[in-house]
Structure 1
């Protein structure tokens, strides 16, 4: 369920002042329309720079997402917006990120963005493993959705995963060097697991964007880690995600959740019969 968004001007004065200790007096605030996890999401502009600010109350049920984004940020140089500061005051946890330019990735068949996303996922697969920071494990997240308990072994691993390959979480900068244009934002659902899982999550979004399952898997095959996945593991992952999206769409039957549920079901059907 989406978190209710509020304006930056509704922060307690102490929290607002703490932000301005990092930014200087604010000249403009542009509230963000995208995203579901943050109560505060805005681009703030001052005489000294521009930041993307995300925030939640410290007693919010998803307050852990702020801690998770702060914890993984040091591992994501060149992959995600840099985290410049964090403020925890007056019951609020606020993160100040680098502002990225560019457009949301287009996942449609034939899009030039697809190769950039593949390059991004290759680079993510090569990044440092997240050490001892607290992350949920992929097999924990999928525990109640796997078709068989034994399937969970396929999802276990030590790699840092994003797990939410929604195209609005991928920004592509047309002015950057080719092969280095895409960045992943919103690491609230960062997870530890098998290296190939992010390619698998991408498959579902590609199918939802109009790719046939076989074509979507060919894009996943551009990611080296995909080739480490056993065929039965991929099928198990497709089955688990069909169950995930069925539950989500039943609880919140918006057009986009129904589209993802249809895509996940189509992928699972392909894996069973292909």
Structure 2
């Protein structure tokens, strides 16, 4: 379920003052609609710069997502916006990120941005997993597999993003080719098998209009995909079908139903292809 969004003007004065210790007095505040985890999400400017602020109350059930993003941020150079500061004040946890140029990635068939997303996932696959507390992929999927033994396919020591929603990938058309994409919203960062992010991308590609075979061809642009046993990919597709069935049943929005349909189509393709 999406978290209810509030404006920065509703922050306690002490929390706003703590932010302005880093920014100076705010001149403009532009609330953003994207994202489901944050109570506060806004682009702010002052005389000294511009930041994207994400925040939750420290007693929010998903307060751990703020801690996760703050912990993983130092290890994401060249992959994600830099975390400039963190404020914990008046019952709020607020993160101030650099603002990236660009636009959300287009996953549609034929999109010129697909190679940039593939390049981003290749770079992520080469990033060492930091020694911080992260959930393991096999823990996250343990209730969704057909057989407990399938979980062994997902285990690994690689850093994963796991939420390949196109809104979480920003593409700057003015940057150097092959280095234009960055990934935001690392709340669900996970440790697991290197090929899993390519697999998560497959579901979103199908939801954007790709046939399952076409989506898998894009996944094959990621070297780690070729380390995955066919049986493991099939098990992962089945687990994702169960995940999205649960999500869409609990929250039957058009986008969750679209993802559930895509995940089911991939699972059927793996079992019959």
Equivalents in 1 of 2:164, 2:129: separation in Å? 19
Equivalents in 2 of 1:211, 1:22: separation in Å? 44
After superposition, give the CA deviation of every residue in 1:72-94 in whole Å (9 maximum; x if it has no partner): 10110010000000001110000
Equivalents in 2 of 1:141, 1:128: separation in Å? 20
The alignment's C-alpha RMSD in Å is 0.4
Q: Report SS of the residue matched to 1:67.
A: helix
By how many angstroms is 1:129 displaced?
Answer: 1.6
By how many angstroms is 1:266 displaced?
Answer: 0.3
Equivalents in 1 of 2:25, 2:209: separation in Å? 46
After superposition, give the CA deviation of every residue in 1:187-216 in whole Å (9 maximum; x if it has no partner): 011111000000000000000001000000
By how many angstroms is 1:243 displaced?
Answer: 0.1
By how many angstroms is 1:164 displaced?
Answer: 0.3
Equivalents in 2 of 1:159, 1:98: separation in Å? 25
After superposition, give the CA deviation of every residue in 1:198-236 in whole Å (9 maximum; x if it has no partner): 000000000000100000000000000000000000000
By how many angstroms is 1:161 displaced?
Answer: 0.4
By how many angstroms is 1:124 displaced?
Answer: 0.3
By how many angstroms is 1:239 displaced?
Answer: 0.3
After superposition, give the CA deviation of every residue in 1:218-272 in whole Å (9 maximum; x if it has no partner): 0000000000000000000000000000000111111100000000000000000
Equivalents in 2 of 1:147, 1:188: separation in Å? 27
Equivalents in 1 of 2:127, 2:160: separation in Å? 10
> What are the ranges of 5 or more consecutive residues in structure 2 without an aligned counterpart?
none
Equivalents in 1 of 2:121, 2:58: separation in Å? 32
By how many angstroms is 1:128 displaced?
Answer: 1.9
Equivalents in 2 of 1:231, 1:90: separation in Å? 51
Q: Report SS of the residue matched to 1:28.
A: strand
After superposition, give the CA deviation of every residue in 1:109-143 in whole Å (9 maximum; x if it has no partner): 00001000000000000112212x11111000001
TM-score of the pair, normalised by structure 2: 0.99
Equivalents in 1 of 2:189, 2:165: separation in Å? 14
Equivalents in 2 of 1:234, 1:216: separation in Å? 13
> What are the ranges of 5 or more consecutive residues in structure 1 without an aligned counterpart?
none
